[in-house]
Amino acid sequence: MLIAATLLVAGVGAGAFGALLGLGGGILLVPVLTLGFGVDFREAVAVSLLAVITTSSAGAAVYLRRGLADLRLGMTLELATAVGALLGGLIAFALDQRVLAGAFALMVAYVAISMLRAGRHAERAAAPDAGAPVAGAADPGAAAVPARTADDPLERHMRRLPLALALSLVAGVQSALLGVGGGTIKVPAMHLVLRVPLRVATATSNVMIGVTASASAVLYVLRGAVDPYVAGPILVGVFLGATAASRLSERVPLRVLRLLFVVVLAWVALQMALRALGLVT
């Protein structure tokens, strides 16, 4: 019972921390499970994928109801992320776990540096994965999804769509290999390539996570890489943490939290790099 409670609390922490900063739980869950509980890297990725599906679905429901996410754009790009996730899910079983740990270290280091450089706009600039559904949706500065007119990004930037699709494919591979939502790639793909307003890109990225993660999660589940006893409390914890954080977001000093988060990410990157180099087990 104590171990289950510890897993639940770890899930709450990962979900809350991630949601407060607009990052998915995955970026914290994988290191918590591998470094904290000694769970196999591949299994941690699988559990993380299930958790991000749940939190992103909750967030997507809010975003869609409030008209903040562009369902058609998301579904167009998620065709590419799903293909990427399928490929990533297959590659994940062929790669050595040290390679995966090294890739995770690089991604975490990139996110940490991005957060430092983003300064006071970090919570917007750090591309979100799952989580923070209600907080993001309630933001009065949020931009609306344009109506299906000439403002439709799919219509306006059709020539750039292949690039956005290619980036989405890479995001799908990243998601499947590392157990994250892939927002670090998808949000810039929509915002910078298709000129979608940042908040809409963020919300739309959240909507896409479910299908992307499902495409690879099914590979992990059916190949026996998921321990349901671990996944259960983690999934519930992450959902509770993300939900609670979305209600507390306005009362939390984000600047302090962000700095703390950067320190945590730097430590995670170091540990994962050491693991990749075979210096720790």
Partner 1 sequence: MIPPASPAPAPPGPPDGDPVTARVGHLLGVGTLAIVLTVSAGTMLVLIGGRTPLHDPGPRLDIARLVEDLVGLRPEAVLWLGLLLTILLPVARVLVALLGFVRQGDQRMSTISVGTLAVLGISVGLALLTR
In the region spanning residues 229 to 248, those forming contacts with partner 1, defined by CB under 8 A, are 229-233, 235-236, 239
Which residues are CB-neighbours of 103 under 8 A, at least 6 positions away?
177, 178
Residues within window 145-164 making contact with partner 1, judged by CB under 8 A: 145-148
Cβ contacts of 220 within 8 Å, gap of 6 or more: 42, 43, 45, 46, 49, 89, 92, 226
> What's the rounded Cα separation, in Å, for the pair 135 and 250?
8
CB of 20 or CB of 39, closer to partner 1: 39
Of 99, 103, 106, 125, the residue at the interface with partner 1 (CB under 8 A) is 125
Query: Closest distance between partner 1 and the C-beta of residue 89, in Å?
Result: 7
Quickly tell me which residue has 């892939």 as its tokens.
182
Radius of gyration of the chain (CA): 17
Q: Name which position in 13, 24, 153, 188 contacts partner 1 (CB under 8 A).
A: 188
* CA–CA dist 119, 102 (Å, integer): 27
How far, in Å, CA of 248 to CA of 243, rounded? 9
Binding partner 1 (rule: CB under 8 A), the pick from 19, 32, 180, 211 is 211
Binding mask 55-94 for partner 1 (x = CB under 8 A): --xx-xxxxxxxxx-xxx--xx-xx--xx-xx--xx----
By the rule CB under 8 A, 9 interacts with partner 1: no
Q: Does 117 bind partner 1 (CB under 8 A)?
A: yes
Amino acid present at 98: R
**Part in contact with partner 1 (CB under 8 A); list of ranges 22-30, 97-105, 188-196, 249-257:** 188-196
